[in-house]
Amino acid sequence: MTRALAHKLLQLLPVLVLVTVATTALVDLMPGSPGRAILGPDASPEAVAALDAQHGFDDPLPQRYLSWLGHALTGDLGSSVSNRQPVTDLIGERLPVTFEIALLALLLSVAVAVPLALWVAARPGGLADRVVSALTSATLSIPSFAVALVLAYLLAVNTHVFPVSGWVPFEDSPADNLRHVALPVFSLALAEIPIFVRILRGDLLTVLRQDFILTARTKGFSTPHVLLRHALRPASPSLVTLAGLAAGRLIGGTVIIESLFALPGLGNLATQAIYGKDLPVIQGVVLVVALSYVAVNALVDLLNSAIDPRTRTA
Amino acid sequence: MAALADTAVVGASAPPGEPLLRVSGLTVDIPTPRGPLRALDDVSFELAPHRTLGLVGESGSGKSMLVRTIMGISPARSTVTGSVRFDGVELTSLPRRAARSYWGRRIAMVFQDPTTSLNPVLTVGRQLTEATRAHLGLGRARATERAVELLDLVSIPEPRRRLRQYPHELSGGMRQRVTIAMALACDPDLLIADEATTALDVTVQKQILDLIAGIQRERGLALILVSHDLGVVAGRTDDIAVLYGGRVAERASTRVLFAGHRHPYSQALLAAVPRLDRPAGAAPRTIPGTPPDLVLAPPGCRFAPRCPSAEDDCHRAAPAPRPGADPTHAYACLHPIPTTKAERR
Ligand SMILES: Nc1ncnc2c1ncn2[C@@H]1O[C@H](COP(=O)(O)OP(=O)(O)O)[C@@H](O)[C@H]1O
Ligand code: SF4
Ligand SMILES: [Mg+2]
């Protein structure tokens, strides 16, 4: 098991290298020098040259990458070009926000989708199934930022049930923190739930046609018992994989939601860094997102082999 | 095995003279895109306690549909009419919750293919203990002890180690022994084996059939042995019902069916059995033609298109069952095989 996991992580190593090399290479894609891009057309050539030299922007790519890698391995991701703060500090501030929102959105999606899929799969073609199927097709085509706008309008601007925007750290006030994350989390979850319901419903229906389900029914078990104890687990690998993909997406790409609700998350940091041409910060964010993908990927593998013993032989 | 016996019988006992299982007029219709499919048509038979009934017929004749309907697992949108009485209680009209105290507890079933009838993601132990824990209220430790006894009963070596294994770690024969152990978990009065050995190779087939026969003798179960192969059930049953196109073509004691059958389809099935007493080179004859289409079934005898004895009247209406050699013998045929000819075989 641990060997399989190590093997998997080793397979993902090239992905990490590729992604970080590509971000390092961004410098070469910029018109003019990064120093000029950052300081603007009015800066003196001396100032531009000094900035380029300070951050090593004019070194050749291999040297730049190795130097970045060497520092990164010791936990030093450089410092922001615009405000000189260490990149690790900047990310450290933003990561908990993004992680909290991503995790809660994922948990909410699974918590809603699994019972819903079980319920409709118990009677395919029944009223519940048709209603849920209509609802999922409708919500599938709505982007989460549109949902966010409507929710914000109805529940924050109009009725003040939730704050319109902003952030309170969990340590300061758990209740306020949850009130602030509620709308972003709902908006994000609403985009995932229809996909989760569809995939799990389909897999459940496939599993429910199998002989071992008939065996369970002839053993005199109720429909809920058969669904929960016999059908759910063999039906869940695709859902787990999909949830993993969603987790990666949520960690790396909640940019729109974060800016809509003015949340100080990773997406927000990335947006600022891109506007400010803050290369060390961009590179740090990309690294963290890539690492999250790798971690989620390994977790998905672990979960799926825990679900299905037949995949455990390796 | 005393431990297995003391929790055996739950519920009412049948009045004296009542068979353990009485199926009458059982009809199952399944909607299909081409129209309704009558998978079972007016099927009736009885089974007394401790007896063995063989259910035979070609593939597609409705054997699985019949036993699954008895087990309450007919296809989702099918309509079931007629009656299934078990130990004096009508199962078809019983509320699901009450009926569940029969299925799994007093009637149990073993399926054809042990590679698909066990849950691949649950350990053998889990699958062997869940029924006794849920139905008999055993605690984990007691249920595990019982699972060990059950694996012993079906002659699986190292039962404790098996409990921790998953189905894919066992051979086909072992898996089928596990499904049999599972079926016996709540000490049923009736065991149904639907082609339980068809998916296994020949030597294992005989072992499993002998195992089932031994358990039946020891525990006094009633048994329904389902097979497309009359040769498999021959010598292991008290009575045989021959199904064709969802109808009972003939039913009789095993002796009468072999020696004095009257239905041409029984004759054809018997001729298809490989027999040692046939002269060498005389291969078993397969039955010419194909089983009937149950969606657009012709009005008359369903065997008519393939029947060597068919005459005009056979195509008009379904032949009603006629009494045969003794009270347990009946056949549905207008032009039966003459008794003397059948006995000569
Ligand atoms: N779920 C189903 N839907 C429609 N037709 C079915 C279904 N299951 C079985 N049948 C039909 O019912 C008939 C009897 O099938 P079955 O009982 O499996 O036969 P056997 O077990 O004797 O081989 C066949 O014609 C088969 O095509
Ligand atoms: S009723 Fe007619 S067609 Fe049917 S089995 Fe008898 S002889 Fe053959
Ligand atoms: Mg069958």
pLDDT in tens, A21-38: 888 888 777 777 778 888
Angle at alpha carbon of residue A165, lines to A162 and A171, rounded to 5°: 80
Question: Measured between alpha carbons, how far is B196 from B207 in angstroms, rounded to an integer?
Answer: 12
> Domain for residue A240, yes or no?
yes
User: What residue in B sits closest to A219 (Cα-Cα)?
Assistant: B104
Are residues A289 and A170 part of one domain? Answer: yes
Are residues A122 and A55 part of one domain? Answer: no
Report which of B41, B54, B46 is spatially closest to residue B242, judged by C-alpha positions: B54
Q: What are phi and psi of A39, to 5 degrees?
A: -85, -20
Predicted local confidence at residue A314, as pLDDT: 46
Residue B330, H or E segment: strand B330-331
CATH of the domain at B310: 3.40.50.300
Report which of B58, B18, B19, B63 is spatially closest to residue B43, judged by C-alpha positions: B63
Are residues A21 and A133 part of one domain? Answer: no
Cβ(B39) to ligand 1 under 6 A? yes
| Last residue of one domain, picked from the residues A22, A38, A72 | A72
> Domain for residue B60, yes or no?
yes
pLDDT digits (tens, 9 = 90+) for A194-210: 999 999 999 999 999 99
Question: Measured between alpha carbons, how far is A238 from A244 in angstroms, rounded to an integer?
Answer: 10
Predicted local confidence at residue B281, as pLDDT: 54
Q: Which residues pair with B22 in a beta bridge?
A: B46, B85
Report which of B235, B271, B268, B258 is spatially closest to residue B329, judged by C-alpha positions: B258
> Domain for residue A247, yes or no?
yes
Q: Percentage of chain A surpassing pLDDT 70?
A: 99
- Tokens for B122, please give them: 């649950």
Sign of the torsion angle spanned by Cα atoms A128, A130, A136, A138: negative
Residue B28, H or E segment: strand B21-32
Edge to edge, what strands does the sheet with B79-86 contain?
A: B35-47, B21-32, B79-86, B89-90
Are residues A98 and A67 part of one domain? Answer: no
Are residues A102 and A51 part of one domain? Answer: no
Are residues A142 and A47 part of one domain? Answer: no
Distance B337 CA to ligand 2 centre (A): 10
Are residues A155 and A44 part of one domain? Answer: no
Predicted local confidence at residue B4, as pLDDT: 43
Predicted local confidence at residue A313, as pLDDT: 56
DSSP conformational letter for B27: E
Q: Which residues pair with B192 in a beta bridge?
A: B109, B224
The predicted model scores a pTM of 0.86
Residue A233 contacts B where some CB pair is shorter than 8 Å? yes
Give the structural domain span for B294.
21-106+186-344
> Domain for residue B174, yes or no?
no
Q: Which residues pair with B26 in a beta bridge?
A: B43
CATH of the domain at A160: 1.10.3720.10
pLDDT digits (tens, 9 = 90+) for A119-135: 999 988 899 999 999 99
Cβ(B54) to ligand 1 under 6 A? no
Predicted local confidence at residue A23, as pLDDT: 85
Are residues A261 and A128 part of one domain? Answer: yes
Q: What is the mean pLDDT of chain A?
A: 88
Report which of B236, B265, B224 is spatially closest to residue B55, judged by C-alpha positions: B224
pLDDT digits (tens, 9 = 90+) for A210-262: 999 999 999 999 899 999 999 999 999 999 999 999 998 888 767 788 888 88
Are residues A179 and A35 part of one domain? Answer: no
Question: Measured between alpha carbons, how far is A180 from A263 in angstroms, rounded to an integer?
Answer: 9
Burial A24-61 (b: 16+ CB within 10 A, else e): beebeeeeebbbbbbbeeeeeeeebeebbeebebeeee
Residue B226, H or E segment: strand B222-227
Report which of B73, B120, B117, B179 is spatially closest to residue A212, judged by C-alpha positions: B117
Q: Count of domains in chain A?
A: 2
> Domain for residue B160, yes or no?
no
> Domain for residue A299, yes or no?
yes
Q: What are phi and psi of A188, to 5 degrees?
A: -70, -40
> Domain for residue B80, yes or no?
yes
> Domain for residue B279, yes or no?
yes
Predicted local confidence at residue A51, as pLDDT: 83
> Domain for residue B166, yes or no?
no
DSSP conformational letter for A65: H
pLDDT at A151 over 90: no
Are residues A192 and A116 part of one domain? Answer: yes
With CB atoms and an 8 Å threshold, state whether B103 touches A308: no
Distance B342 CA to ligand 3 centre (A): 28
Per-residue pLDDT tens, chain B, 345 aa: give them. Answer: 334 443 334 444 545 567 999 999 999 999 999 999 999 999 999 999 999 999 999 999 999 999 999 999 999 889 999 999 999 999 998 887 887 789 989 999 999 999 999 999 999 999 999 999 999 999 999 999 999 999 999 999 999 999 999 999 999 999 999 999 999 999 999 999 999 988 888 888 888 999 999 999 999 999 999 999 998 888 899 999 999 999 999 999 999 999 999 999 999 999 888 766 655 555 667 788 888 888 987 789 999 999 999 999 999 989 999 999 899 999 999 999 998 654 444
Question: Measured between alpha carbons, how far is A199 from A191 in angstroms, rounded to an integer?
Answer: 14
DSSP conformational letter for A230: I
Helix axes A266-275, A237-252, angle to 10 degrees: 40
Give the structural domain span for A130.
94-311
Could you say which of A212, A217, A225 has the minimum Cβ distance to residue B118? A212
Q: What is the ipTM of this complex?
A: 0.86
Predicted local confidence at residue A160, as pLDDT: 79
DSSP conformational letter for B289: S
Neighboring chain B residues of A234 at a CB cutoff of 8 Å: 119-121
User: End-to-end distance of chain B based on CA atoms, in angstroms?
Assistant: 44
pLDDT at A50 over 90: no
Q: Count of domains in chain B?
A: 1
